[in-house]
Chain A
Amino acid sequence: MIGVKPHLKAVLNSYAEVLFIQRSPIIGFLIMLLSFLNPSVGVGGLVSVLSAYLFARFIGMGRAFLESGFYTYNALLVGLSVGYLFKITPLTLGFTAIAGVLTLIFSVMLYSVFSYYFRLPILSVPFVVISSMLYLSASGYSNLFVGNLYPHFNLQELELYTPLWLSGYLKSLGAILFSPNVLAGLLFAVFIFVFSRIMFFLATAGYYLGTTLKALLVGSLDKAFMDINNFNFILVAMAVGGVFLIPSLKSYVMAAVAVVVSTLVLSSVKSFWAAYGIPAFTLPFNFTSLTLLYVLGLVNFPMVARYIRRTPEGTLDYYLTYTRRFRGTERGIHLPFSGEWTVWQGFEGKWTHKGAWKYAYDFIITDAEGKSYSGTGDKLGDYYAFRKPVLSPVRGRVVKVVSDLPDNPVGKVDKENSWGNLVVIYDERGFYVELSHFAQNSVKVKEGDWVEVGSFLGLCGNSGYSPQPHIHVQVQTTYEPNSPTLPFSFVDYVCDGKFFSNFLPKEGEKVQPVHTSKHLSNRLAFAIGNEFFYKVYKKDKEVGDFTVRVNMDVDGTFFFETDRGRLYFGRYEGTFYFYRLEGNDPLLRLFFLAAPRMPLTEREVVWQDYLPMNVSLNYYQRAMLLFLASFNHKVFSTEYEGKILQEGKLIEGKVISPLAKGEAPTQVRIHNALGFAGVRVGDLELRLEKFSLGGENDA
């Protein structure tokens, strides 16, 4: 049985996939049953999808690709379209199976071409092409037609009791899977609603917008509602507004535009195709959506979803959480000094950080009065920054050093050698970091040296275009001192007692680098096979056991695993993160709630974070709030505030939810050797009993 289940899932997933309902074998099963209302359609679809699936297995396509139903739903649609045209006979079955195989190979090829050349999904293009082909080819196969055409089962009675504006919508919805009847449509609507409110909203609004517009053009509302080809509007709205763009007002506007445009496409296709006896199928949907997506990608439209999750709600939650939680850039570098310095000039600064060199930072040291010098400030030695160590902000190789330029007297600048004495380091992430204005002959590294974060480079000076001693740092594209700069951000620093994992300090802010504690990072260095045994307490009364295992995903990310879910975690620079929670394990969720991120430092710092809604809220709250949030992203968020105590052994936090009154206090205790000794959220607590290193570490 073990062998059959995944295959079964894959086939069922294909059914749901047509309605953009991903990885829902149950809904898939129900849709399949509905397709059997018209047995020819049902059998046709099933035969086609099975043949495609078997062929895919035969040519050795991996399970991971097929499980989603991604490759096979086109075959399903083709099968349904054949079944819709012909009655089931051994002959038509054979015909359908051939069609299924053809669709699969075409899908796979098209997928490769589309994703490589256009970065586009294939949607149901293979279905449109293959089904059109079949309809055209079938016109010559007289043998198929003899006795194989049949009257359709349409549940006319139900339609009598339904107003036209509703039956039109429901039939269109059903028509997506070749079941243009009220019952199938109604159930599809329910499925979509259960799966995603955003999708349901889009489907409905899209349909009525498109249909109304068509009615205006045609001049008859009845005629517009009768046309089941209007399902194209539904698909366009769902794809554009909810799947490929991040649900938002912008994506909704874009969906409306797409629907409006697709009315024209639909009408033109219908007039043209009809001459050859082919229905429009989903051609208008494919044409409009793909064209639009390609253009939006081309102009870097900000709402194009980079990570498409299972539902639009999931995509939105991921996007909101991600943009709030991870605000820096991928070029995160450390502050190039020790102690507290002040930002003198940031990106696009008012003096020199302009044009191609706008991505740069200048730092000085200031005292309580905001002055950068003591005494009169007319000698370099008066300046706090002068001759303070400059440390490497990255690990990499030194590729350029200048060290012989003199330090200018205060207020004078050297315009010929703007960058003064400098060090350029190549970071293997693919960029160069330049540090400037070193004191004369103070640079202690040479070209070719390998430096680590915090390696001593030289002393802060006043060479080059520098009116007072300061450290200039920029990230750039080449090793040349005057090469164009790139955006970057700083990791692991404290500003006003607050820890920032990856962000940009503002001008005038005092910042101090935080170096990762080796202790803490060792204590949170999990390995595959580690197992932690907890006792669960509620109000200090023992209520059960809980065990988590550490495991690794195919892409190298680690997660805590229980039978009910996965909690992904990882470390970026000096911060330990919980990235995302999958499944529905309420105890695994405690870890995320109690400390969504932890700075790996023993200093008493505070920090802020945001919790994804699937961690902080229950299903119904989430469903409601995410739908609302799709209209206004700023509507609300679940904040977390943490604080390090006892040299990093204890983390106290609070979760500030927009729905719950007050704040939920949380606590995490770090074990002396490995992992979390205790986790508490409200009155629920996990206390570590024992742990085993397990896996390869068992000797």
Chain B
Amino acid sequence: MRLKYEKPVITKVETGFMNKFGSSPLYARKIRKDIDGVSVEELVERFGSPLFVISERKLRENYKRLMQAFSSRYPNVQLGWSYKTNYLQAVCAVLHQEGALAEVVSKFEYEKARKLGMEGHQIIFNGPYKPYEALKLAAEEGAVINADHFDEIFELERVAQELGRQIKIGIRLNMDTGIYPQWSRFGFNLESGQAMDAVKRIASGDKLSLNGLHCHIGTFILEPEAYAREVKKMVEFAYEVEDKFGYSIEYIDIGGGFPSRIKLKGTYLSPDVLIPSVEEYAEKITQALYESLRPGDFPKLILETGRAIIDEAEYLITSIVASKRLPDGRKAYVADAGVNLLFTAFWYKFNVELAQEASGANEPAVIYGPLCMNIDVIDEGSMLPPLEKGSRLVFSPVGAYNNTQWMQFIEYRPNVVMVMEDGSVEVIREKEDLSDIERRERLPEKLKLK
């Protein structure tokens, strides 16, 4: 075999400590030739590049692992699938099949869940802005509504008046659980007494009845103990409310925020060391429940875990379209996927895998996206071997927030496919073309060019 030509590069000689993993940083590389047994090359051939690939098997596995961790410790656990994390219909449908409720935060998401076939009572309606009609519809259809502020309580009272019956609602709390920054913009503050004021207001209005508590302490929380503090405070508050006002608190919704296994920018330790397992969260949370709940009382524990379920079940395949050498000597590549598709690139140091073998020594490289924008960087620096144009890279995890926060900006959005459990591949969102983007545009007659 003829050896390939490789451009000579000058690399700093690094001596010193042995790498305890035994591999040289110059030749260590991560290769992923297939996703769930379907080769990357075949996927690109059939569906183009870039390409989002979701593994149905992994998605179901993640759901089951989370539920198993909790339900083997506490008898009354329910997952509300956080739509905003990923509301592709196929993703939601898989999780609903597994038994998750829909957790929505807007009129749009509410409508989406209903259209997918979820009944009103299978939807948890959160969020700081719920338009009046949406609120009324949700109340009529029996959705679980968690009120965010006093104005919403007043509106819900109006709804109750109009419907001529009492409505059961939950309220959203915010509290100090030792996590910085403390999310205080959602719901009623616990420590200041605002939350109790809200309950008093609900009781004095007598049009609503309180049956649940909700709280979301933050995102990518790396400290299980924070949830234990959250649960303890919520249960104590629940009993105070039950004893003072005679309400029965049927559910304690502890929100989401469990991390996925990915390195955040600015962290030093590897995710394997830094990120607690779902088991650890489950143990701390259920232990806190047993310590604060009265014996024999098992209010429903609702989890709104999004990221920890979907993130690692999705990959992005991207192709190198060009390479160049930067003035500082680093190698740079231009890929066909940028921050238009990878919103989480702003926080994540993705796991980048090669879809094919590559020879040559690794060198520091930057990967840029295709946008004509300075900020379009999807990897700020990895050790990569020399890559030819047309090489494929697999970015992961990309399941959380990218398929919802991506944007049509400069480029079209690509196909999203799901590798099904039986090994077949289904397109679950077709790639866009011009008509999708211009469908809502109206060109005034006199501006028409021909």
Q: Which residues of A contact B (CB under 8 A)?
A: 337-341, 365, 384, 387-389, 391-392, 395, 444, 451-456, 513, 515, 518-519, 646-647
Decide if A454 touches B296 in the complex (CB within 8 Å).
yes
Decide if A339 touches B290 in the complex (CB within 8 Å).
no
Decide if B295 touches A389 in the complex (CB within 8 Å).
no
Contact of B296 among A444, A455, A513 (CB under 8 A): A455
Cβ of B71 under 8 Å from chain A: yes
Decide if A338 touches B73 in the complex (CB within 8 Å).
yes
Taking chain A's interface residues, is the majority helix, strand, or loop, or is none over half, making it mixed? loop
Given the contacts A453-B296, A454-B298, A389 and B76 also touching, CB distance less than 8 Å? no
Decide if B296 touches A388 in the complex (CB within 8 Å).
no
Given the contacts A518-B248, A647-B121, A388 and B295 also touching, CB distance less than 8 Å? no
Decide if A513 touches B295 in the complex (CB within 8 Å).
no
Per the bound structure, the CA–CA distance linking A589 and B283 in Å amounts to: 49
Decide if B72 touches A340 in the complex (CB within 8 Å).
yes
**Which residues of A are found within 8 Å of B121, using beta-carbon distances?**
646-647
Per the bound structure, the CA–CA distance linking A341 and B71 in Å amounts to: 11
Decide if B72 touches A384 in the complex (CB within 8 Å).
yes
Contact of B73 among A389, A454, A518, A647 (CB under 8 A): A389
Report the nearest A residue to B61, measured CB to CB.
A368
Taking chain B's interface residues, is the majority helix, strand, or loop, or is none over half, making it mixed? loop
**Which residues of B are found within 8 Å of A454, using beta-carbon distances?**
75, 295-296, 298
Residues B245-288 near A (CB distance < 8 A): 248, 250, 283, 286-287
Report the nearest A residue to B286, measured CB to CB.
A389
Per the bound structure, the CA–CA distance linking A388 and B121 in Å amounts to: 31
Contact of B295 among A455, A515, A518 (CB under 8 A): A455
Cβ of B194 under 8 Å from chain A: no
Decide if B290 touches A389 in the complex (CB within 8 Å).
yes
Cβ of B27 under 8 Å from chain A: no
Cβ of B74 under 8 Å from chain A: yes
Report the nearest B residue to A341, measured CB to CB.
B72
Per the bound structure, the CA–CA distance linking A541 and B76 in Å amounts to: 42
Cβ of B405 under 8 Å from chain A: no
Contact of B75 among A392, A444, A513 (CB under 8 A): A513
Per the bound structure, the CA–CA distance linking A454 and B297 in Å amounts to: 8
Distance between A335 CB and nearest chain B CB, rounded to angstroms: 10
Cβ of B68 under 8 Å from chain A: yes
Report the nearest A residue to B122, measured CB to CB.
A647
Contact of A338 among B74, B248, B287 (CB under 8 A): B74
Report the nearest A residue to B74, measured CB to CB.
A338
**Which residues of A are found within 8 Å of B76, using beta-carbon distances?**
515
Per the bound structure, the CA–CA distance linking A452 and B283 in Å amounts to: 21
The 9 closest A-B pairs by CB, nearest first: A339-B72, A456-B290, A452-B295, A452-B296, A339-B71, A455-B295, A338-B75, A454-B296, A515-B75
**Which residues of A are found within 8 Å of B291, using beta-carbon distances?**
456
**Which residues of B are found within 8 Å of A392, using beta-carbon distances?**
295
Report the nearest B residue to A395, measured CB to CB.
B296
**Which residues of B are found within 8 Å of A444, using beta-carbon distances?**
290
Per the bound structure, the CA–CA distance linking A646 and B122 in Å amounts to: 10
Decide if B298 touches A515 in the complex (CB within 8 Å).
yes
Per the bound structure, the CA–CA distance linking A524 and B287 in Å amounts to: 32
Report the nearest A residue to B70, measured CB to CB.
A339
Distance between A688 CB and nearest chain B CB, rounded to angstroms: 17
Query: Scoring B residues 284 to 325 as 1 if CB is less than 8 Å from chain A, else 0, what string do you get?
Result: 001100110001101000000000000000000000000000
**Which residues of B are found within 8 Å of A515, using beta-carbon distances?**
75-76, 298
Per the bound structure, the CA–CA distance linking A646 and B74 in Å amounts to: 23
Per the bound structure, the CA–CA distance linking A395 and B296 in Å amounts to: 9
Distance between A670 CB and nearest chain B CB, rounded to angstroms: 14
Per the bound structure, the CA–CA distance linking A124 and B446 in Å amounts to: 115
Decide if B72 touches A337 in the complex (CB within 8 Å).
yes
**Which residues of A are found within 8 Å of B250, using beta-carbon distances?**
519
